Amino acid sequence: MINKLTLIGVGLIGGSLVRALRHAQWVKEVVGVGRHVANLELAKGLGVIDDYKTDPAEAVAGADVVVLAVPLGAMKNIMQEIAPHLSEKTILTDVGSAKGSVVADAQAVFAGRIEDFVPGHPIAGTEKSGVEASFAELFQQRRVILTPHETTSATALGVVREMWQVCGAEVIEMSVAHHDEVLAATSHLPHMLAYALVDTLARMEDRRDIFDYAASGFRDFTRIASSDPQMWHDITMANQSALVEVMKRFRTDLEQMITAIEKGDSQFVKQTFERAKKARDAFCDGK
């Protein structure tokens, strides 16, 4: 059980983590950290946190576990603020969607105690944001990826692993590079496509008619374009190398489809659709 958990960044992911831990009776005290007192008051009123601080350095004093749930662009500054104030027993982890930048920041800031930092990424979320959107069941039967480094403490890794398991998640481990490549393809690219499509349509002269006649297919495909722009800006910049590679691959395939349609190559078009349907059906069936 965690006696004191400090949550830096009280939003959907961090709030859902705390709700799940409370439901499992696996945490005694939670201190939230954020820039906006109104949001922290809301989190306290919802029972997500017990107390709050606006000074991260003050909040981490005596913490058993510190969870960094801030945008990737803010990660290094927060690490620098809290580093001198961590106790020897404190275990750190994060929930960032790109791991390369987070690990680089941690190695620069926590050089003397990098073994206590366990990089993590829950593969869960919704298009909604904010602590008011959090719920305890968010991580049930979802995966959480941990990307420990060579010197990661077995104790720290065990605590973070168990923390997510009691939330109902399946915890797996992989390398930082592999994580960022996989997530670039399966999560980051879809968000880029959704944002780009909605923006393209919104800038067309007849956009009013387009949105008036958009149906459920458009709504389903573009749902994630309602996600937090700042968060996804930071993810894009943090994982730009892997993301650019998979975007170029998609661009090549899209250009092939454009050419096939221009030439009336119905066989190419149909085969592409059939392969895609087969792949997605297998994914949805858990195969």
Section 124-141 average pLDDT: 93
At the topology level of CATH, where does 178-284 sit? Answer: 6-phosphogluconate dehydrogenase C-terminal fold (1.10.3660)
Section 3-25 average pLDDT: 97
Residues 215 and 148: their CA atoms lie apart, in Å, by: 44
Position 95 scores a pLDDT of 97
Dihedral sign from CA coordinates of 271, 274, 278, 281:
positive
DSSP state of 185: I
Structure tokens at 63: 């913490």
Q: Is 124 helix (H, G, I), strand (E, B) or coil?
A: coil
Residue 287 — pLDDT band, cuts 50, 70, 90?
Answer: low
Q: Which residue has the tokens 């662009």?
A: 73
**Of the candidates 70, 94, 82, 78, the residue with the CA atom closest to the CA atom of residue 11:** 70
E-assigned strands of the chain? 2-8, 27-33, 51-53, 65-68, 91-94, 117-118, 120-122, 143-146, 170-173
Q: In this predicted model, what pLDDT tens digit does every residue of 31-71 receive, in sequence order?
A: 999 999 999 999 999 999 999 999 999 999 999 999 999 99
* 3-state DSSP helix/strand/coil % of the chain, to nearest 5: 60, 15, 30
> Is 205 a residue whose pLDDT tops 80?
no
User: Average per-residue pLDDT in the chain?
Assistant: 95
Parallel, antiparallel or unpaired: strands 91-94 and 170-173: unpaired
Section 17-26 average pLDDT: 97
CATH class for the region spanning 2-174: alpha beta
Would the CATH topology of 2-174 be identical to that of 178-284? Answer: no
Section 245-264 average pLDDT: 98
Residues 180 and 97: their CA atoms lie apart, in Å, by: 8
Position 207 scores a pLDDT of 67
Q: In this predicted model, what pLDDT tens digit does every residue of 142-175 receive, in sequence order?
A: 999 999 998 999 999 999 999 999 999 999 999 9
Q: In this predicted model, what pLDDT tens digit does every residue of 80-101 receive, in sequence order?
A: 999 999 999 999 999 999 999 9
Q: Domain ranges in the chain?
A: 2-174, 178-284
Position 126 scores a pLDDT of 83
Structure tokens at 247: 């975007």
Position 211 scores a pLDDT of 85
Q: Which residue has the tokens 């944002």?
A: 195
In Å, how far are 69, 113, 117, 130 from 73, measured between CA atoms?
A: 11, 22, 18, 18
DSSP state of 264: T
Position 100 scores a pLDDT of 96
> Is 231 a residue whose pLDDT tops 70?
yes
62 CB burial (10 A radius; 0-12, 13-18, 19+):
middle
Percent of the chain whose pLDDT exceeds 90: 88
